[in-house]
Structure 1
Amino acid sequence: MRRTKPLLLGSATAATAALLLALTPQLSAGADEGPGAGTRDARGSRDAPAAAPAAAPLGSPVAENGRLAVCDTKLCNQDGRAVQLNGMSSHGTQWFERCLTDGSLDALAHDWDADVLRVSTYVQEGGYETDPERFTEIAQRVVDQAIERGMYAVIDWHMLSPGDPNANTELAKRFFTDMAARYADQPGVFYEIANEPNGVGWASVKSYAEEIIPVVRRHDPDGVVLVGTRAWSSFGVSDGADEREVIENPVDADNIMYTFHFYAASHGDEYLRTLSRAADELPVFVTEFGTQNYAGEGANDFAMSQRYLDLMREKGISWTNWNFSDDHRSGAVFREGTCNGDEWTGTGVLKEAGVWIRDRIRE
């Protein structure tokens, strides 16, 4: 089984990582649209587990790499070596909780050899705002399952519409208080505080981040926080901006990374060049991408997707692919109806994009 591959760093960078791990970081100051009617068949609510899960199993990505931290522009393991995580993002749990079972996550961890699972909790569209307790319980169950299998977990606050993350600040504070309090002692958890900010400037996104990050830090001072960038996490490319607005006015916090999203059939060389430049000056995590168009549907552009994957491997950029469900769109990895059964392994249950991305994760 493939494990997270360390990328050797120079001594100065390793020293920075060791310092970050030793100190408590302190704060100084599209394709996501849900399915059509008739597909919203999530399970009912359940009691949350009484305690966070036990330590990761021996030989797993978390057991081998431990708590991760940001060192310079890289994500580094407990030994100060850069790592690249490869894995999948769930779809919205209000629609596709049934795709996140012991069997499916066993397949993701052991058949796909994934390092990381992104757990997407939508805020609107029938999500968290309708029943905060229920959706917190679902998120905690799935994060627990990822940890039990030795995978890292990205806790994704999936705000999308409205695009201003400040519209949901109080809900976000409640959610991340519950999540950070539960996972403070777990080495394998990331906090993605805003999925795809859109329709607002960088100053608004930055101010939101600087209000939410202390909520996480109050409970989990060591967890890596992932900050969405504007224009659907593209560093503002679609609005005529680029990574310079973040480089010149970064979020005032330590141990954070910035997110970038792309869809290969829609986002070509301009997006690719922006990601390449940004990763040279900022810590970047691609928490969502697809081989289709920006709606997560249509024909797959595997050639352009491979160019992105080659770049991310070259620069050590971690990624999660959208999405681990059986939605009817081509971007969902499972064939429709798969999540109603109990067969998860191999390629027979996968769509074309699922076969392709499974192979890339297993490489």
Structure 2
Amino acid sequence: MARLRIALALAATLVLPGVLVGVPAQAASAALPAGSPAEVNGQLKVCGVKLCNEHGKPIQLRGMSTHGIQWYSQCVKTASLDALADDWKADVLRISMYIQEDGYETNPRKFTDLVHGYIEEATKRGMYALVDWHQLDPGDPNYNTSRARTFFKEIAQRHKNKTNIIYDIANEPNGVSWSKVKSYAEQVIPVIRAEDPDSLVLVGTSGWSTFGHSDGKDPQDVVRNKLSAPNVMYTFHFYAGDHGSDYLAVLSKVSDQVPVFVTEFGTQKASGDGANNFSQSQKYLDLMNAKKISWVNWNFSDDERSGAVFKPGTCSGTSFSGTGRLKPAGVWIRDRIRTADDFPTS
């Protein structure tokens, strides 16, 4: 779905006021604050079809995705991250690093260092850092296998001792069979596991992470041909303005069969724009709450579309808390992220 959002994206500097950028390899790692979501839940594990914390209890994480950091890095800085952690009460920050579209392939060193910095910033605020390998066009993730192996090897080496790191190795595979996506995953996951054997790995599914549904494929293709690697979840994306009851039914069914993490959704159309469909969005949230499916909303920026939570111009300032600078989608999703967490420890 993100394929429709890239054309109008605004160029932005990669200099982030007040945020760690290009963290040196020997820099001290941030510590998790006591009582924060990542400190309370610790190392995440897949138990059956659920996401569980270190105590073996099923939990649901809720949070926000950055926009593409090649365009909207100015929206991810000290003041905005403080607001996300302290005012929004988010559990997870998805770091959206595009591979093409002026992203990683243009300067691997710069973008890798940028991600290192964001991981440390999420860590010191007690959020999970979800590293999003945002491959999109071409839709076959095998096009970027070599790049992915290089990137994830370094990320895993640097952050393997953290308990709040989540690796998302393929954003929205599209126009490609699940068997090819699986082949890609089978090449990348061992690279991560060689450095970090414990952390959660997420794998995008075919049809723009709809278990093939958007490509007219049978979602059971994934269920019948699961990855053999442990501690892996499959991703699902939806946009409530376009994806109605049939997509909701797919999510409901597959989440009873395999572990699912909704790493991207919006309350509007798949373009990230258009009218908000809050009633359909709430149906999805009700389902995800009932099944404890973790979710991340698109997106934590001030672009002109309705799906960006902040009003245009917000990111040039320092005011991010409260609702005064939020669009309707931002007001709606902030309210739902702020709902009391249910993180059992015994």
Please tell me the TM-score bracket, short chain as reference. over 0.9
Matched residues in 2 for 1:280 and 1:359: separation?
A: 27
What residue in structure 2 maps to residue 115 of structure 1?
Answer: 91
Q: How big is each residue's C-alpha offset from its partner over 1:20-76, in whole Å with a ceiling of 9 and x where there is no partner?
A: xxxxxxxxxx23532537x20122595324335232001100111111110110111
**1:247 pairs with 2:223:** yes
SS in 1 for 2:122: helix
What residue in structure 2 maps to residue 14 of structure 1?
Answer: none
What residue in structure 2 maps to residue 9 of structure 1?
Answer: none
Aligned residues: 333
SS in 1 for 2:117: helix
**1:216 pairs with 2:192:** yes
Match of 2:291 among 290, 315, 318: 315
Match of 2:6 among 24, 34, 40: 34
TM-score (norm 2): 0.94
SS in 2 for 1:87: strand
Q: Would the alpha carbon gap of residues 312 and 52 (structure 1) be closer, same or farther in structure 2, given more than 3 Å must change? A: farther
TM-score (norm 1): 0.90
What residue in structure 2 maps to residue 293 of structure 1?
Answer: 269
Q: How big is each residue's C-alpha offset from its partner over 1:146-165, in whole Å with a ceiling of 9 and x where there is no partner?
A: 11100011100000000000
SS in 2 for 1:298: coil
Partner letter of residue 48 of structure 1?
A: V
Contact 1:180/1:216, CA 8 A, preserved across alignment: yes
Contact 2:64/2:94, CA 8 A, preserved across alignment: yes
What residue in structure 2 maps to residue 8 of structure 1?
Answer: none
SS in 2 for 1:93: coil
Matched residues in 1 for 2:218 and 2:291: separation?
A: 19
CA RMSD of aligned residues (A): 1.2
What residue in structure 2 maps to residue 48 of structure 1?
Answer: 23
What residue in structure 1 maps to residue 343 of structure 2?
Answer: none
**1:332 pairs with 2:308:** yes
In structure 1, runs of 5+ residues without a counterpart are 1-29
Matched residues in 1 for 2:182 and 2:14: separation?
A: 36
Contact 1:197/1:230, CA 8 A, preserved across alignment: yes
In structure 2, runs of 5+ residues without a counterpart are 340-346
Contact 2:22/2:114, CA 8 A, preserved across alignment: no
Contact 1:35/1:327, CA 8 A, preserved across alignment: no
Contact 1:90/1:323, CA 8 A, preserved across alignment: yes
Shift of 1:140: 1.1
Match of 2:148 among 165, 172, 194: 172
Match of 1:229 among 205, 221, 243: 205
Matched residues in 2 for 1:310 and 1:206: separation?
A: 30
SS in 1 for 2:70: helix
Contact 1:52/1:182, CA 8 A, preserved across alignment: no
Contact 2:22/2:116, CA 8 A, preserved across alignment: no
Shift of 1:229: 0.2
Contact 1:147/1:188, CA 8 A, preserved across alignment: yes
Matched residues in 2 for 1:35 and 1:360: separation?
A: 30
Give runs of aligned pairs for residues 1-363 of structure 1, distance below 5 A: 30-32=1-3, 33-34=5-6, 36=8, 39-44=10-15, 46-49=21-24, 50-51=26-27, 53-363=29-339
Matched residues in 2 for 1:35 and 1:299: separation?
A: 19
Shift of 1:178: 1.2
SS in 2 for 1:95: coil
- Identity over aligned pairs, percent: 57
Runs of 4+ off more than 3 Å? 44-47
Shift of 1:143: 1.3
Partner letter of residue 60 of structure 1?
A: S
Q: How big is each residue's C-alpha offset from its partner over 1:235-287, in whole Å with a ceiling of 9 and x where there is no partner?
A: 01122223311111101211000000000010000000000001101000000
Contact 1:242/1:274, CA 8 A, preserved across alignment: no
Partner letter of residue 43 of structure 1?
A: L
Name the stretch that deviates more: 229-238 or 46-55.
Answer: 46-55
Matched residues in 2 for 1:150 and 1:330: separation?
A: 29
Q: Would the alpha carbon gap of residues 52 and 298 (structure 1) be closer, same or farther in structure 2, given more than 3 Å must change? A: farther
SS in 1 for 2:96: strand
Name the stretch that deviates more: 232-241 or 288-297.
Answer: 232-241
